[in-house]
Amino acid sequence: MFAYGPVPSRRLGNSIGVSPIPAKVCSYSCVYCQLGRTDRLLARREQFFPRESILRDIRKVFHGAKADVITFVGDGEPTLCADLGWLIDKSKNEFGLPVAVITNGSLLFQKDVQEDLSRADILLPTLDAADEQTFRRINRPHGSIRFDQMLDGMLDFRKEFAGKFWMELMLVKGVNDTDRELTSIREIVGELKPDRVFVMTPIRPPAEQWVECPATETVARAERMLSDAMAVADLEEGDFGLAEYSSASEAILEISARHPLRWGQARAIEESFGEHGTLEKLCEGHDVEIQQYRDNRYIVPTQKIKHLSSKIGGT
């Protein structure tokens, strides 16, 4: 399925998520990504699925849902979807909710991407580095994407964007959390003039096992250096939209494929369906595995979940 939720977002409230691209198709392969390494590193936009099918799926999730926002986030990089502008327009006109796009910002130098994203109410681009070396170490971009190209596109877009521009910075210990790195990032933030800055830390199992969360005092220092930055380090809380799922196992597998679940969250889903023992069965059948990260156990599917065409009219 392309749409899901609402899911609790630490920045956006209750969000209907929309993924218009195949799983793990991205222009980056970030070391901290909660979905693992990128399967297909891509810098060219495509129409991956019929746009009418994606819109129908949003309708199914929207009806009866108590949501604050519709968020195009993808299981990779959503701006790779060539129909993104059309989908944003249709969503705003039909559902009456603000539309957010969470993007790595890598393609903002392309005019068609700028045009599509100008339709959004909220844009959340990522800036994890201030130079080419750190950019390649933490974001591991497609070979055709250069740091200065990405940054120029972001600066150019910011000048014209009329919506809310909320920048995200993911801190990784020993990579971009030094005073030198943060000072350089602060200079860029001063040029971008975002409406908000969110300082993030990895809270779920990352793509690379060596990735660690910076110390609490380092995160606090980053907040101070970036003026009014807000740390988003706490675990998200809230219910997941379950109406579109037929069973606890389906819900756990689908949700955890996009959003690795803590053991307690998965157990709550199981209880919502009254299907006790589902987690144990999924573990015994090797459908999921348990990964320990930062004192929490996470449910992670052993195989990536594909879009279910039977749920969207067979297209």
pLDDT at 305: 45
Residue 243's pLDDT band (cuts 50, 70, 90): low
Residue 248's pLDDT band (cuts 50, 70, 90): confident
* Mean pLDDT (whole number) for 231-244: 60
For the chain, the distance separating the N- and C-terminal CA atoms, rounded to the nearest angstrom, is 11
Tokens of 107: 């393609």
pLDDT at 304: 53
Q: Is pLDDT above 90 for 295?
A: no
Residues 6 or more apart from 7 whose CB is under 8 A from it?
A: 14, 15, 17, 238, 240, 241, 255, 259
Nearest to 79 by CA among 160, 154, 188: 154
pLDDT at 88: 97
Biggest CA–CA distance in the chain, Å, is: 53
Nearest to 69 by CA among 16, 133, 111: 16
Q: Is pLDDT above 60 for 199?
A: yes
pLDDT at 260: 75
* Mean pLDDT (whole number) for 114-136: 97
Share of the chain above pLDDT 90, in %: 53
Sorted by where each starts, the structural domains of the chain and their CATH numbers stand as 3-233 (3.20.20.70), 245-315 (1.10.10)
Residue 153's pLDDT band (cuts 50, 70, 90): very high
Strand pairing category for 164-170 and 196-200: parallel
Lowest average pLDDT, out of 20-24, 140-144, 158-162, 236-240, goes to 236-240
In whole angstroms, give the CA distance from residue 136 to residue 144. 12
Residue 106's pLDDT band (cuts 50, 70, 90): very high
β strands within the chain, DSSP E = 3-9, 13-18, 25-26, 40-41, 69-72, 99-103, 122-125, 164-170, 196-200, 230-232, 261-262, 288-293, 296-301
* C-alpha dihedral (125, 129, 132, 133), degrees to nearest 10: -140
Instruction: Report which of residues 216 and 234 the model is more confident about.
Output: 216
Residue 309's pLDDT band (cuts 50, 70, 90): very low
Q: Is the peptide bond before 125 cis (omega within 30 degrees of 0)?
A: no
* Contact status, residue 202 vs residue 32, Cβ threshold 8 Å: yes
